[in-house]
Amino acid sequence: MLKEQVRAITMLFPDDLASQQWLESLALILKELPDSQVAPGKITLAATQPDKALPVIELIQAPVAYPELVFELDQDFELSIGDFRLSNHPVFSEKSAVPEGFGTIERLEDNNGSYLRIKHANKCDFKNLLALEQLYARLKGHLVRADHFGVNLPVSLVDRPEWTELLNKLAGQTNLYRYPEGFEWPFILPATGQEFETEIKSFVAGRHPRFELVYDEYLQYPLYQFALVTDLTKGELEKRFPAPYGMAISGLDSILRSVFIFHPWPGLGVRFDLYYAGDGSLDNWQSGEWLVRQGGRISPEQ
């Protein structure tokens, strides 16, 4: 018998001043999306179709010592990766500021504006980063919707049994699907209660944002990803987000441009994946059909 469906996937952020300012800048970006609701200290993104599909994704300011990712599972689960924590319940703390910084930070200029370079880097995979304010200035008026959010977990820090346990528990309470091309990139699709109990059979626009989990062979530290659809062409995004803070991920270079973002939490990466403008048609990626039919739903182990 399937367990109760997960209502929300929640990204918790500390409530110190630097974190608060960062989340306010993020809210300006996400507020442009039709599937978002923005309130002080809280951002919620929910599927527009089908009605009442779960889970929603929440980003919340809270008294936590470091960002946490919470899945509302009815089983206890906790996975700590350095200071970063995944669990089924938050751990609140009076200590909300991260005392150890990234290291020396240099501000540089290019034709688009400024970006940051971490020198003598501490606890980071990427040294050339864009401030959220710069990201917003270059994307304002060009955002269409959220495609997915996600978390990348380094293979070097999360052993195979821990990864398997996480997927098994999520599979019991969400519609979790394999990525069809053999990569360990499973996706949670928003689904109605009936679809959770049976299967997704309706492939419509609006079943987003989904949530991706990546078992990452390349990163040293966990990473949050925010994948947004834009109305900008490949050339326009390349011009607005050039190297060294912008890049094309191998195999996805015809689909999106990735940008690495500055934030206050050493030991965690943040990446925005910006989709190029489409032709307006509903394809089998947007509808979720490719994941459902080609990837297949992951069943929980008994």
pLDDT in tens, 184-223: 999 999 999 999 999 999 999 999 999 999 999 999 999 9
| SS3 category, 212 | strand
**Surface-to-core class of residue 79, CB atoms within 10 Å of its CB (0-12 exposed, 13-18 middle, 19+ buried):** middle
Report pLDDT digits (tens) over 20-33: 999 999 999 999 99
Side-chain-facing half-sphere of 207: CA atoms under 13 Å: 26
- 35 is a domain residue: yes
The DSSP 8-state label assigned to residue 255 in this structure reads: T
Is-contact 274 139, C-beta < 8 A? yes
Mean pLDDT of the chain: 94
For residue 1, tell me if it sits in a domain: no
Q: Is residue 302 part of a domain?
A: no
pTM, whole model, 2 decimals?
Answer: 0.95
Partnered with residue 51 across adjacent β-strands are none
Is there a domain that residue 183 lies in?
Answer: yes
Residue 3's pLDDT band (cuts 50, 70, 90): confident
The verdict on residue 170 lying in a domain is yes
Model confidence over 73-84: pLDDT tens digits? 998 999 999 999
Q: Strand 175-177 and strand 187-189: pairing?
A: antiparallel
Identify the burial level of 24 via C-beta atoms within 10 angstroms of its C-beta, where 0-12 means exposed, 13-18 middle and 19 or more buried. Answer: middle
Residue 37 inside a domain? The answer is yes
Tell me which residue range forms the domain holding 132: 8-295
Q: Is the model's pLDDT at 95 over the cut of 90?
A: no
How far is it, in rounded angstroms, from Cα 233 to Cα 254? 10
pLDDT of residue 1: 47
Is 3 a member of any domain? no
Tell me how many domains the chain contains. 1
Confirm whether 13 is domain-assigned. yes
